[in-house]
Structure 1
Amino acid sequence: MTTGEAPLDNPSRTFGRAWDDVRRGVRAVDLWGHLGWQDIKQRYRRSVIGPLWITLSMAVTAIGLGLLYSQLFKTTIGTFLPYITVGFIVWNFIVGCVIEGTDTFISNEGLIKHLPAPLTVYALRTVWRQTLMMAHNLMVYVVVVAIFFTNLTAAGYTISDGGTQQPGLSWTVLLAVPGFLLIAVNGVWVTLLFGIIATRYRDIPPVINALIQLVFFGTPIVWSTDLLTGGGAFGGGGGHWRVLIAELNPLYHFVEVMRAPLLGMVVSWHHWAIVGGITVIGSLLALVAMRNYRARVPYWV
């Protein structure tokens, strides 16, 4: 055995052990729940308004970009501002899980070496921390919806002038709950898989950071897919093939399964199908990584 490596014939390298780690990690809710909450408290210690800085930051970003891009794309602020707000809330949760997930095991080096806890605990800690931050950001959503409630409940409203007509807010808003749960489950497997890879290869986190910046501009957050089909400021038509720019971006589908219900937009089944497929495949890949390299993580950190 070489220095820093677990033995190749380590009996822990079985799917049973990997699944047991996941199962015991989920059950340790008191541990990862407490650690995630402490992360939020520690980040805003000695701050006057504490975690409300999360809400304030989101509000400033959403309002600023909403006002700017509504003018650039010549859209109605009453529907476009909520669209950008919810888009940023969901996007920040997804990106937080990805970026902080790659650093999960590295940042928990001390606990991993001294606390006999399942590795899944640290992944759940990361996702739970991001969930708490999203909960703060949803306060902005509530305020924005209250202000533009008339616009969002009007049947046939559009995000961009001349764009797809939306049904308006209704009971379908409840679909945001399973949408969030799907995103959270993906956050766990992403954290486990990318966390293990990044622990072994420390160049992965900066690469992920760079790619995320690029993917952001290709994801309909500050712009709508209506613009790709000729709606809004660009006019014309016949550009439905351009929607592939968004459709080939997996993060677009993750954003939509939660954003669409929260805004009373058309909830397309294909978003759910793609997210569900990625969830299954990603979870299997994470389980394989846990089987093969779970025992080596304490050696690598």
Structure 2
Amino acid sequence: MQPTSTVDRPEAPLAPNSRTFARAFADVRDAWHHRELWAHLGWQDIKQRYRRSVIGPLWITISMGTTALALGLLYSQLFGQQLNTFLPYVTAGFIIWNFILGVVSEGTDVFIANEGLIKHLPAPVTVHVLRMVWRQVLFFGHNLVVYFIVLAVYYPALSKPYSMGGDELNSHPGLSWTMVLAIPAFALIVVNAVWVALLFGIISTRFRDIPPVIHSFINLIFFMTPIVWHVGVLNKVTGDGGEASWKVLIAELNPLYHFVEIVRAPLLGHTQEWHHWVVVGGFTIVGWALALIAMRNYRARVSYWV
């Protein structure tokens, strides 16, 4: 007798014409039409996490505030920088990084963690990705309160431009209306977050070694990304010779630096450099192309892999 258990047949045959880009696009489109579902589920995730807590989601803000303050105080002394410019820099960078970290970490497990819903809820698989991304956006909103508190504390020093002896690390251009450019920049990061979760979520569902590998390297990437340190520190430490040039190039070759900088720069009053937009735009196009290819070929297999 031939075995009939799904354990013996982990991959069922695909339906005719299931491997088409039209089906992949339809899955993303239908998931957007279910926005009331994933928006409600994302909000319920936060409420459930802080159930029976006295201050609830405010713990998110408190945790971010204490971490940013500790890192700002420590690294401002290590690098000899003024706290009134360095603490806002670290706070903004760490808030953005925390969003990226949440998307990458939870994105690898997004389908595995929703095994029950995928098997019993007839909905597009992208719904689970949008639920996770929306949850991270809500976390980002809570953490952004810390940035506004720091901004209010140091507003007298940040509201007008000043320079300390030509030192770029302790100089500030002053806040202006260009801060609103952080909104479209963050929206672009959210768009990238969706394809990251789709692509790595599908790959991780099939190959369960991927999430531990990513979790192992993510902390290393944090220290390699200019978040608690400034790119200008490389010039200050190594001088203006050729040695500094290739070290700055290594920082520029880190794609996460560009994702962080397009949002952090306007929040601090700095000008958004065009090459940051070029790099992020390029990753957006290539990333979505890879995600749609993965959706086209393996979307129908996700329910059998979880």
Q: Same fold (TM over 0.5)?
A: yes
Write out aligned runs for 1:18-37 (5 A): 18-37=24-43
In the other structure, the counterpart of 1:274 is 279
Task: Confirm or deny that 1:68 pairs with 2:71.
Answer: no
Q: Is the 8 A contact 2:175 2:269 kept in 1?
A: yes
Q: 1:38 to 1:157 in 2, by over 3 A?
A: farther
User: Which of 218, 221, 226 is the matching residue for 2:224?
Assistant: 218
Give, in angstroms, the shift of residue 164 of structure 1.
Answer: 8.0
Q: Which amino acid aligns with 2:297?
A: N
Q: Which amino acid aligns with 1:185?
A: V
Give, in angstroms, the shift of residue 253 of structure 1.
Answer: 0.3
Q: 1:162 to 1:170 in 2, by over 3 A?
A: closer
Q: Is the 8 A contact 2:85 2:170 kept in 1?
A: no
C-alpha distance in structure 2 between counterparts of 1:46 and 1:38, whole Å: 14
Q: Is the 8 A contact 1:6 1:295 kept in 2?
A: no
In the other structure, the counterpart of 1:145 is 151
Q: Which amino acid aligns with 1:39?
A: D
Write out aligned runs for 1:124-139 (5 A): 124-139=130-145
C-alpha distance in structure 1 between counterparts of 2:58 and 2:97, whole Å: 19
CA RMSD of aligned residues (A): 1.7
Give, in angstroms, the shift of residue 92 of structure 1.
Answer: 0.3
In the other structure, the counterpart of 2:305 is 300
Q: 1:296 to 1:261 in 2, by over 3 A?
A: same
Q: Is the 8 A contact 1:69 1:222 kept in 2?
A: yes
Q: Deviations over 1:220-264 (max 9, x none)?
A: 01100010122xxx3732323321121111000000010101011
In the other structure, the counterpart of 2:270 is 265
Q: Which amino acid aligns with 1:61?
A: T
C-alpha distance in structure 2 between counterparts of 1:84 and 1:47, whole Å: 29
In the other structure, the counterpart of 2:239 is 236
In the other structure, the counterpart of 1:93 is 99
C-alpha distance in structure 1 between counterparts of 2:75 and 2:44, whole Å: 37
Q: Deviations over 1:68-95 (max 9, x none)?
A: 1101111000000000001110000011
In the other structure, the counterpart of 2:108 is 102
Give, in angstroms, the shift of residue 166 of structure 1.
Answer: 4.2
Q: 3-12 or 206-215: which moved more?
A: 3-12
Give, in angstroms, the shift of residue 169 of structure 1.
Answer: 1.2
In the other structure, the counterpart of 1:195 is 201
Normalising by structure 1, we get a TM-score of 0.95
Percent identity between the aligned chains? Answer: 64
Q: Which amino acid aligns with 1:218?
A: M
Q: Deviations over 1:174-212 (max 9, x none)?
A: 110111011101100000000000000111101001111
Q: Is the 8 A contact 1:75 1:161 kept in 2?
A: no
**Runs (4+) of structure 1 moved beyond 6 Å?**
none
- Give the secondary-structure state (helix, strand or coil) at the position aligned to 1:163: strand
Q: 1:5 to 1:263 in 2, by over 3 A?
A: same
Q: Which amino acid aligns with 2:296?
A: R
Count of residues in correspondence between the two structures: 297
Q: Which amino acid aligns with 1:255?
A: V
Q: Which amino acid aligns with 1:236?
A: G
Q: Is the 8 A contact 1:151 1:157 kept in 2?
A: no
